[in-house]
């Protein structure tokens, strides 16, 4: 089976999942190749040196409109002999919508990476044209099945995972200097809660150090709120290959997110024995972290509680070591590439052997975006209002 996985090579979780999944599915004779739409002039990041050999991109910027882009994409899928496509919902609106227009013999799988109303609206918009849905967290599957009528037998939970070979066991001999705290991810407050980091850090022990890794729209605001000092380092974006060593050099991963799907950084940190202190997101972070056994959770937005947890670990190094060992055991038991690939292969093969009926393909000449793929009313709400609504939803 040969599948097109809709993603462009980038330093981020979705492409990391692609590389892990491609490697894991190879023993099942399932070939995964990336296929993406380039909307600008930027090239592939040089740290992703093997990306060009693993897929291909289409220059959407050179095409007159979305309809012609969709036509070119559909032609490429057929010409390359793909048996099916894997759509990452809302990663690109044209690629999300293309499943409604593909030839009937093409299998269509969608992956739901987030728990936002916008993501669910997009998933619902294309659901009649999709053979199976894969949710990276339990929360997304429960919401789609219970509240949006997705068929339970065709809606799977398969969490993101890592290869433990990439995270060799490190000597974490107890040190008596301050804790080394890490944030790794997109520097964006709306989803990642990065502008809560300064207060968490200010309330943390005075000997702690904080490393910020990543890039994003709120980086200037975060820099302004965390003045340069010997205790704070900004490393910018780093390559995928650098992540294991980076995690190994830190004691605690701070993850103050407002919402997530199943963050790769969380699983990567735990694989390296870096203890997560993360927002308690029902069906998301609590699906990975068993609070008090392999990491620590705090109510969304509760900066004081997050800092208290940092203080507690700083004063109890044996507990830090216990949580670190538990975190790695959790990944080895539940979040390995081998386990993820086995479950994907089972879902993909089962669907290919007996494809369920789906809605008839639409003619590409009638290309249009359904309402679920167009901006909704929430898009126009002020950022602080949306952030307040997200906090209230999770607290309730």
Q: Answer whether 255's CB lies under 8 Å from 297's CB.
A: no
CB 40 within 8 A of CB 61: yes
Cβ-contact 222, 195 below 8 angstroms? yes
**Whether the domain at 2-161+336-381 and the domain at 165-334 fall into the same CATH topology:** yes
Distances (CA, A) of 46 to 9, 169, 187, 240: 10, 28, 21, 11
Q: Which CATH superfamily is domain 165-334 in?
A: Glycogen Phosphorylase B; (3.40.50.2000)
Per-residue pLDDT for 344 more than 90?
A: yes
pLDDT, mean of residues 99-111: 97
More reliable by pLDDT, 363 or 239: 363
Residue 336 bridge partners (DSSP): 162
Lowest mean pLDDT among 63-72, 221-230, 296-305: 221-230
pLDDT of residue 176 exceeding 80: no
| 105 exposure class (CB count in 10 Å sphere: 0-12, 13-18, 19+) | exposed
pLDDT-derived band at 173, boundaries 50, 70, 90:
low
Pairing between β-strand 180-184 and β-strand 209-213 as defined by DSSP bridges: parallel
pLDDT at 36 over 70: yes
What pLDDT does 45 receive? 62
Residue 378 pLDDT > 60, yes or no? no
Q: How confident is the model at residue 210 (pLDDT cuts 50, 70, 90)?
A: very high
Mean pLDDT of 56-84: 94
At residue 46, the pLDDT reads: 58
Q: In CATH, what is the architecture of 2-161+336-381? A: 3-Layer(aba) Sandwich (3.40)
Q: Which positions ≥6 away from 265 have C-beta within 8 Å? A: 13, 184, 185, 253, 255
For residue 300, the tally of other CB atoms under 10 A from its CB is: 23
Give pLDDT, residue 212. 97
The answer, yes or no, to whether residue 41 has pLDDT greater than 80, is no
Please tell me the predicted confidence (pLDDT) of residue 373. 87
Predicted confidence band of residue 354 (pLDDT cuts 50, 70, 90)? very high
Q: By percentage, how much of the chain surpasses pLDDT 90? A: 81
What mean pLDDT value characterizes the chain? 91
- Of 277, 209, 275, the C-alpha closest to 247 is 275
pLDDT in tens, 121-136: 999 999 999 999 999 9
Q: What residue ranges do the domains of the chain occupy?
A: 2-161+336-381, 165-334
Tell me the pTM.
0.90
């Amino acid at each position: 089976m040969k599948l097109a996985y809709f993603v462009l090579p980038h330093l981020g979780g979705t492409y990391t999942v692609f590389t892990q999944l491609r490697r894991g599915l190879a023993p099942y004779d399932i070939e995964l190749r990336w296929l993406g739409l380039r909307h600008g002039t930027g090239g592939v990041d040089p740290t992703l040196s093997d990306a060009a050999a693993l897929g291909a991109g289409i220059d959407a910027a050179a095409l007159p409109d979305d309809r012609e882009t969709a036509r070119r994409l559909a032609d490429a899928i057929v010409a390359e002999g793909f048996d099916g496509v894997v759509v990452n919902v809302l990663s690109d609106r044209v690629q999300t919508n293309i499943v409604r227009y593909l030839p009937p013999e093409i299998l269509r799988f969608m992956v739901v990476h987030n728990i936002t109303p916008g993501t669910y609206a997009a998933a619902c918009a294309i659901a009649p044209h999709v053979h199976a849905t894969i949710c990276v967290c339990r929360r997304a599957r429960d919401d789609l099945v219970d509240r949006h009528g997705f068929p339970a037998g065709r809606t799977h939970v398969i969490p993101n995972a890592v290869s433990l070979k990439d995270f060799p066991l490190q000597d974490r001999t107890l040190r008596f200097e301050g804790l080394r705290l890490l944030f790794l991810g997109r520097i964006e407050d709306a989803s990642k809660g990065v502008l809560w980091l300064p207060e968490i850090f200010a309330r943390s022990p005075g000997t702690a150090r904080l490393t910020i890794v990543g890039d994003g729209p709120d980086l200037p605001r975060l820099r302004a709120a965390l003045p340069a000092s010997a205790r704070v380092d900004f490393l910018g974006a780093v390559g995928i290959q650098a992540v294991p060593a980076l995690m190994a050099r830190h004691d605690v991963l701070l993850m103050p997110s407002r919402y997530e799907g199943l963050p790769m950084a969380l699983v990567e940190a735990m694989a390296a024995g870096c203890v997560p202190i993360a927002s308690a997101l029902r069906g998301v972070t609590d699906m990975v972290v068993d609070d008090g056994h392999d990491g620590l959770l705090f109510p969304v937005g509760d900066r004081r509680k997050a800092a208290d947890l940092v203080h507690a670990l700083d004063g109890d190094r044996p507990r830090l070591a216990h949580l670190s060992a538990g975190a790695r055991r959790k990944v080895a038991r539940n979040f390995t590439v081998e386990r993820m690939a086995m479950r994907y292969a089972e879902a993909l093969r089962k669907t290919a052997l007996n494809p369920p009926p789906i809605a008839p393909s639409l003619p590409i000449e009638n290309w249009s975006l359904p309402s679920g793929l167009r901006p909704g009313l929430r898009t126009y709400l002020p950022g602080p209002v949306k952030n307040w609504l997200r906090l209230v939803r999770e607290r309730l």
